[in-house]
Structure 1
Amino acid sequence: MAEAARHPEPRHDNEPRYGNRPTMKDVAARAGVGLKTVSRVVNSESGVTPDTERRVRTAIEALGFRRNDSARVLRKGRTASIGLVLEDLADPFYGPLSRAVEEVARAHGALLINGSSAEDPERERELVLALCARRVDGLIVIPAGNDHRYLEPEMKAGVATVFVDRPAGRIDADTVLSDSFGGAREGVAHLIAHGHRRIGFIGDQARIHTAGERLRGYHAAMADAGTAVDDSWVSLGSTEPGRVRAAVERMLSGPEPVTALFTGNNRVTVTAVRVLAERERPTALVGFDDIELADLLSITVVSQDAAAVGRTAAEHLFRRLDGADHSPARVELPTRLVPRGSGELPPA
């Protein structure tokens, strides 16, 4: 053993290194280029020929080199992390939104930390401030509350913040939304175009911005058609299945039941579909938000692009982190009506 230790086997140039972590200098020596060239390749900067870039990347792979982000982060005064505060992790709308944010964050070399406010304003505040205490560089928030003045000190200290799906309450901040008003107006107008006049609206809680905007779109479409809305045709409240089921059954009973329903979000739509499936009389339905298997169930929906919302919000956030300095912006993305059959049923 002692003899072997005094005369170790020679290491060939193409063998990976172990022990000390390889550095940019090691990569530069192996590729036969300067240190600045390696830095440009590692940081995806321009000014390197394709052949040189291939040599550098081959050296990186052979040596097992990994960029040391900690030093770069310290130089920029950042932690290379952002926080995403969702309303409800179980809501299918937030899956593609979260993935899109994560993809943009990854492209910028940042880690995404997310959590759910569970639709509780106090929980939202606790979660946001906990993320700030961990020095995230920026925040993307789907607000549960309507007063965000607690965030003003953090934003003044440099925490870039973008609100999504709903605007911030009582502060000016960047916001990315879907066109809830326009989408609902189009969805209800679609039912009107197929002969319906008695149209029920079942939505989320009135305090929620999107619920209010979709109700406003419903009223606008009905007014456009010259149709007065009976109070019994509108129901706002919890998306809990029992509450929604009761609202649907009430609207479909009596001597003059509604002939169509417009449901204000995906959770309401799912319950409404179940109730309608139990009944013999067909009732037209258009839902706001797409739902799983909606194409197989022939459910007409107003679709919003959750991934585009998340991507737009994240790109806006990183522009702020890169120094963009302008007044708070409001970006409203269009929705799309997807006819599949349920919204095209005529009045029974």
Structure 2
Amino acid sequence: MKRTTIKDVAEAAGVGVATVSRVLSGGSASPETRERVLAVAAHLDYRPSALGRNLRQQRTGGIGLLLPDLTDPLYGRLAEGVLACARSAGEPVLVGSTGGDPEQESELIGMLLEQSVDKVVAVPSGDADTWGPALRTGMTVVFAGERPDEPTEEPVDDLLLLDGLRGRPRVEGGIPTVLADDRSGVRTAVQYLKGLGHRRIAYLGGPGHARRVSAFREALGPLVDDELVVFAGGSRDAAYAAASGLFQSRPDLTAVLAGGNQLGEAAVLAARELDLRIPRDLSLVMYDDVPWAELCSPPLTVIAQPAQDLGYRAAELVLRAGIRRPRSVLLPTELIVRGSCGPRR
């Protein structure tokens, strides 16, 4: 007879996997929801294999790796770093794609709990509360590349900066995170564009770009034009629509900073469609270096982040969690100047 899973309980109770996980681990839920979930679990004779004591008694080893998009070159390189570290430690890796959807992320967390996976590296899609039930069961989690959505932005100085940079351990109680120093990268890029004479500089952003936008505003200072700070949804179509709309509504802008490789791709395509010549009509800097950036005509100036190292360091942290408490780290970025930027005309 097939064993009842947490997903079976969630479907029968009409709630999400994360809600079932939260109820069974003693987390917050309304009395009605808690009663319904517990009743369904009892009726289906659900025997949790990963929640509670069994998570602590039946370790299976291995690392769970949750990524928003397996086709994105950035996440592919990050995954390579995790796999390299896990391979050196003799640990298997279970990979899941969240599609950038918090609900799908919750379901995958539940599945990892079902399989007694107690170490996870994730590029988070939802907010920090999504991970609460898993953390209460004893799962060790390290975020890589991004933080979950939070009401306030954590200061850079609350991270340990590596490779000779200054810093200190992150504040107690937070989930360890390995990040690229995007604030420094964005500031350097804006200063470079200003040095070329650009004053009407746009930022094309997406979900989770609060730190980069903050750095962009700080670097521009009084030159910031709110109409030139544009956000797109997570899809390629949304990115293209945002770039095209920006370029058509503000023909006076002379430079744009695209906050990610998908947004940079959209900016290149929209500029081509609108007969904007790069860099003669529009200078372009893209956050993140991907293989196609150097193949563009002209090659794109980029803010490069060490994606593979992000994954490797995150895997190191999650594997060492039993020895000492992991500390968050911040890795340096680099501005690589190519041919997509020129002086303001």
In the superposition, the TM-score normalised over structure 2's length comes to 0.70
TM-superposed deviation, 1:168: 4.4
- Answer yes or no: is 1:317 the counterpart of 2:318: yes
Task: Determine the structure 2 residue equivalent to 1:142.
Answer: 123
Aligned partners of 1:84 and 1:178: how far apart in 2?
Answer: 18
* Matched AA of 1:216: S
Single out whichever of 246-255 and 307-316 deviates more from structure 2: 246-255
CA offsets per residue over residues 280-331 of structure 1, 9 Å max, x none?
A: 542100000112222232100001111010000001111114x21x3x5221
Higher relative contact order (CA 8 A, sep 6+): 2
Aligned partners of 1:87 and 1:337: how far apart in 2?
Answer: 25
Contact 1:143/1:163 (<8 A) preserved: yes
Aligned partners of 1:273 and 1:239: how far apart in 2?
Answer: 17
Contact 2:98/2:105 (<8 A) preserved: yes
Report the count of equivalent residues.
261
Aligned partners of 2:109 and 2:236: how far apart in 1?
Answer: 29
In the superposition, the TM-score normalised over structure 1's length comes to 0.70
Aligned-partner SS, 2:215: helix
Aligned partners of 2:131 and 2:233: how far apart in 1?
Answer: 27
Task: Determine the structure 2 residue equivalent to 1:202.
Answer: 204
Unaligned runs of 5+ in 1: 1-75
Task: Determine the structure 1 residue equivalent to 2:259.
Answer: 264
CA offsets per residue over residues 165-197 of structure 1, 9 Å max, x none?
A: 223467721111111222111112211111100
Aligned partners of 2:309 and 2:196: how far apart in 1?
Answer: 31
Task: Determine the structure 2 residue equivalent to 1:123.
Answer: 104
Task: Determine the structure 1 residue equivalent to 2:175.
Answer: 173
Aligned partners of 1:123 and 1:280: how far apart in 2?
Answer: 39
Report the CA distance shift for 1:161/1:254 in structure 2 as closer, same or farther (over 3 A).
closer
Task: Determine the structure 2 residue equivalent to 1:274.
Answer: 269
Task: Determine the structure 2 residue equivalent to 1:100.
Answer: 81
Aligned partners of 2:250 and 2:111: how far apart in 1?
Answer: 54
CA offsets per residue over residues 127-149 of structure 1, 9 Å max, x none?
A: 0121121011301111111133x
Aligned partners of 1:262 and 1:285: how far apart in 2?
Answer: 6
Aligned partners of 2:116 and 2:266: how far apart in 1?
Answer: 41
* Matched AA of 2:284: L
Task: Determine the structure 2 residue equivalent to 1:164.
Answer: 144
Aligned partners of 1:84 and 1:341: how far apart in 2?
Answer: 36
Aligned-partner SS, 1:83: strand
RMSD of aligned alpha carbons: 2.1
Aligned partners of 1:319 and 1:183: how far apart in 2?
Answer: 29
- Answer yes or no: is 1:339 the counterpart of 2:320: no
TM-superposed deviation, 1:253: 3.7
Equivalent residue runs for 1:1-348 within 5 Å: 78-148=59-129, 151-168=131-148, 172-205=174-207, 208=208, 211-223=209-221, 226-227=222-223, 229-253=224-248, 257-278=252-273, 279-281=275-277, 282-297=281-296, 298-321=299-322, 323-324=323-324, 326=325, 329-343=327-341, 345-348=342-345
Report the CA distance shift for 1:123/1:239 in structure 2 as closer, same or farther (over 3 A).
closer
TM-superposed deviation, 1:77: 5.7
TM-superposed deviation, 1:241: 3.8
Single out whichever of 122-131 and 163-172 deviates more from structure 2: 163-172
Larger radius of gyration: 1
CA offsets per residue over residues 90-119 of structure 1, 9 Å max, x none?
A: 211111111110111111111100101111
Aligned partners of 1:84 and 1:111: how far apart in 2?
Answer: 10
Aligned partners of 1:125 and 1:331: how far apart in 2?
Answer: 25
